[in-house]
Chains A and B, each alone.
Chain A
Amino acid sequence: MMIALPLLAAMEMGRIPVVVLLIYMAVLLGLGVLGYLKSRSSEEDYYLAGRGQGVLVTVLTIMATFFSSAAMLGIPGLIYRDGTAFLFFALNLPVSGAAIYFIGSRVRRIGQARGYVTPGDLVADYYGGSRLLRMLVALVGFLYVIPYIIMQIKAGGYLAQRLFPDAAGLTVFGQEYGVFELGTIALSVLTMLYVLIGGMRSVAWTDVIQGVLLLSGMLVAGLATVMAMGGVSEYFTAVRSLPSEALSLPGVSGAWSPWKLLTICIFASLSTMIQPGQWMRYYAARSSQTLKRSALIFATVLPGCFLFGVMLVGLGAHVLYPPALVDGTLMPHEMIGATAGDFDQVVVAMLQEHIPLLLGVGFGAVMVSIILVSVMAASMSTADSNLHALSAVLTRDIYDRFIRPQASERERAWFGRGVIVVATLLALWLVGLGSAPGEFNPLTMIASLMFVAMAFSGQLVPLAIDCLFLRKGTTTGAICGISSGILVVLFFTPFPAMIAGDGIASSWTGLTKLLSGLFDIGFCGAVVNTLVFVVVSRFTRPLPAEHIAAFARDADG
């Protein structure tokens, strides 16, 4: 059954989006300044807010860091493209919640006891203070953070295009900036500013506002879609009438086998929960009880927001605006977007078309603006945490250890702020490259970036499990394991082909395509990582027993 609804091709939203956006930005900057005023001038305070965050701040900052533009744009985009198959992504959320308790509590305990700030502090300290291992852990963090920041910034561009479709661009020093570019610049500069000003305290406080906004935005978006289609019964009747490939695995694009979904749900959740931004949130929590409660809230609230919220938008759009094969490529409906990468725009397009019809143009415009700001909140709350974490990782694990070990705390603080500025500019530049037609653009959809980033981060999982729970590995084993995991994941990205050329690359792309069709790519890397780690550890010098015992006392409590 196809539901016919009148469409508002260009909704007159007037100045409402501008006003809502300005209020939102002013609140964020205000919280940034407040965070600065409450801060103490120490490195630990800038990066961990004095290790005193309570349940409300901890759970909302973990949620807001977890929920990025991928949650609000990328995942609904995949459901719009593939149908019900990708709904099973939601099953990673309770697993992630459990990880907050099992991993987070131990990380917090030992971090508190030994004054750790970054993941590298813990891992390198356990494996005998290895500088090479610290560098590899920092590299994994970097490879996670940069793609994640890029996709948040891209979301800013999409939103600007949708909110201000008729806005003229700007010409600065002879360089023309379109609405997309201006959106990316606005989002990244604002985020950069409040991270620079107040560090973890500002990031966490803004995450509270952004977390509430995005959770409500997800639910309201789902509710609006169901109402626009005539109510719950009519919605599910319409969905049931979809073609069989949209109602079953492996989905319309054929991408989702049960094993792939299983490995994503188990492995991607762990990868996301041990990335540097989340790891530092465990250090910053006031107590293990704080993390225990956060785990419970996370595992019960978030699946509801996905399954009864934003995921319904993607499925509803598949009914209203079915994707179609054009010259062998699966493309979104013209109402949603014009390129294969535009599946991401489904939430924004759906809301703009249908909310005004439900609520009237005036109130509808306010609601659309608020929900679109919640999409922006999802992006900014992840970008800020990642920028902040990257600053800590590069300052403590690289600058302080390899470049200027004699640097004062004040010098390190300035270097950390410099990292935030440089990382923002680098991400903006990469987004610019990716949006230029006909040039470098290996990953068009936000969700693709998400899976690559998680795959790199996931290479820390075997080491984290070993040093927090098993304590059987050796330093050499850990170094060999994580290096091989990073290399394997790298082979799943377009970069080796760009370096080696298509001729040489074709020898392995067949294998990587086969494997990535069957499993999560991070899982593939982690299998090799774990095997190498175990085998090399078997034949190399173990860590001193007293060192392991002392570590265990601090971690186990």
Chain B
Amino acid sequence: MGAGPGLYLVNDYAAGGGTLLGMPALYAWAVGWCAVESGVIIAAYLTVWKSES
């Protein structure tokens, strides 16, 4: 979704100068998906990743 074919969902809107949260749509899309990816890593760190001494 982030850097793949999901970009087609927003690309035409971005090409027309569309915005999300006041930012150019593609920039906001990149920031949003980066936040999702980083959020997954944080969640994995706290819950899934194996701890060892």
Binding site for B on A (CB under 8 A): 84-85, 87-88, 90-91, 93-95, 97-98, 101, 233, 236, 239-242, 244-245, 247-249, 258-259, 261-262, 264-265, 287-289, 292, 295-296, 299-300, 303, 307, 315, 557
Closest to B51 in A: A289
Contacts of B41 in A (CB 8 A): 94, 97-98, 295-296, 299-300
B33 with A258: CB separation less than 8 A: no
Interface residues on chain B, number (Cβ under 8 Å): 35
Q: Could you say which of B3, B6, B15, B41 has the most chain A C-beta atoms within 10 Å of its C-beta?
A: B3
Q: Interface on B for A, CB 8 Å cutoff?
A: 2-8, 11-12, 14-17, 19, 22-27, 30-31, 33-34, 37-38, 40-42, 44-45, 49, 51-53
Contact A258 B38 (CB under 8 A): no
**Residues of chain B within 8 A of A303, CB atoms compared:** 34, 37-38
Q: Residues of A contacting B33 with CB < 8 Å?
A: 91
Contact A265 B15 (CB under 8 A): no
Which listed residue, A247, A258, A292, A296, touches B15 by the CB 8 Å rule? A247
A186 to chain B, nearest CB (A): 36
Give 4 nearest A-B pairs by CB, closest first.
A94-B37, A248-B15, A262-B4, A299-B41
State the majority secondary structure of interface residues on A. Answer: helix
Structural contact, B45 and A307, CB atoms closer than 8 A: no
Complex CA distance for A241 and B23, rounded to whole angstroms:
11
CB-defined contacts of A264 to chain B, threshold 8 Å:
3
Closest B residue, CB atoms, query A232: B22
Residues of A within 8 A of B3 (CB): 88, 91, 258, 261-262, 264-265
- Which of chain B's residues has its CB closest to A88's CB? B3
Query: How many angstroms between the C-alpha atoms of A296 and B51 in the bound complex?
Result: 13
* Supplied contacts A248-B11, A287-B53, A289-B52, 7 more A-B pairs, CB within 8 Å: A84-B24, A84-B26, A236-B19, A240-B19, A249-B26, A296-B45, A300-B41
- In the bound complex, residues from chain A placing their C-beta under 8 Å from that of B19 are 236, 240
CB distance from B51 to the nearest CB of A (A): 7
Q: Decide: A239 and B27 in contact? CB cutoff 8 A.
A: yes
